[in-house]
Amino acid sequence: MHKFKLLKDFDVKKKRVLMRVDFNIPLGDDKKISSNERWRIEAVLPTLKYLVEQNSKVILISHLGRPGGKRVDGLSLKPAAEELSVLLNKEVGFLEKTIGDEVNQRIEKMNWGDVLLLENLRFLKEEKENSEDFSKELARFGDVYVNDAFSVSHRKHASVVGVVKFLSGCAGFLFEKEIKEFDKVLGFSEKPFVAVVGGAKISTKIGVINKFLDLADNVLVGGALSNTILAKEGCFMGESLVEECAEKINTNNEKLILPVDFGVWNGKSSTYINIRNVEKGEKALDIGPKSIDLFSGFIKKAKLVVWNGPLGLVEKKPFDKSTTAIAKEISNSQAYSVVGGGDTVAFLRKCGINKFDHISTAGGAMLSYLANETLPGIKALEDF
């Protein structure tokens, strides 16, 4: 049972509220946020609307992309402020500063109930370094700190853990909702429990795969993750994406279900082949139809399904086929379903597949929480 405080435990009427959000949203060529990508903004609206109703001065902080501690054209949060203004039906201010006296002066001039978004936290290296001075600077902008960015709470960054050392903190409505859903997964008693794990980087997911091998009845692995696992088992993977990984997965565990065929690209055309038949110059970019049938069989019987990560290169047809098929299978199943991961959710929104019990804003944080049952951002709120 977590011991952190919730937003409604605080009196925020006519208080300055420093609120961490996750507006890490890919921008289009026009530097705008598409309707398929604005879901991270929509997710924090309940918390924001509550604070506005309480006549708080709301100061929003977020990151966008990986600018490496310097200002980068195209990674400004200004488009997020514009989009939020539309969604809130209220003008949201934006300041091309993250810290400093200019920020303080702007906050002083805000009316009660106003919302202000500050510039990209990661334009300053002190954010990722969890600088104490930077944390203090952020803390002086608020009377209360609200973390409504569960999706970045696996990071030991200043805006997630450092600021809480200097400012009373609590969880926002979205953060609270995410925790409740994942605790439900960890305590779910009905069987079978099926985990579906895809994506590219096995280094960020190997811990949760091993954890799921303890928790779940079956763990279905696709995407480039399966390339790496099968390569370690001696499968020739041609030009497929394969990651070096020191940690091991017990491939002899009968709960682990790997693809039996691939959709491959040879530079000119695509075809489906057995996992043992990849040739030089070919790239495995999706799991094949036999693997889809194999995975679907487990999902049909499941009482609980947790899914994180695409099973193929969804940006390029026809390698979105398996992800689409498995999404429909989970959506149409009788299982309680929880889906997370930025790429996965963006793809589902694009396809219009949304019949899931919980669609999480989190990817890495979701996996970290399910693997470890705690996060730096949670511990910071509990320890303040």
357 and 338 Cβ atoms separated by less than 8 Å: yes
Give yes or no: 342 in active site. Answer: yes
Measured in degrees and rounded to the nearest 5, phi and psi for residue 109 equal: -85, -10
84 and 118 Cβ atoms separated by less than 8 Å: no
CA 160 – CA 146 distance, rounded (Å): 10
For the beta sheet containing 358-359, the strands, ordered from the edge strand earlier in sequence to the opposite edge, are 256-257, 218-221, 193-197, 304-308, 336-340, 358-359
CA diameter of the chain:
67
Cα–chain-centroid distance for residue 369? 12
Cα–Cα distances in Å, from 185 out to 139, 152, 180, 244, 305?
Answer: 34, 20, 9, 30, 9
Give yes or no: 267 in active site. Answer: no
Annotated catalytic residue within 136, 201, 301, 349: 201
Annotated catalytic residue within 169, 288, 312, 342: 342
CA 150 – CA 375 distance, rounded (Å): 9
Annotated catalytic residue within 198, 288, 364, 377: 364
**3 state SS of 62:** coil
* Structure tokens, 181: 């859903």
Cα–chain-centroid distance for residue 8? 25
CA 215 – CA 208 distance, rounded (Å): 10
Residue 380, Ramachandran bin (φ over 0: left; ψ between -120 and 50: alpha; else beta): alpha
154 and 375 Cβ atoms separated by less than 8 Å: yes
Give yes or no: 38 in active site. Answer: no
Annotated catalytic residue within 40, 106, 155, 177: 40
Residues carrying an active site annotation: 40, 201, 342, 364
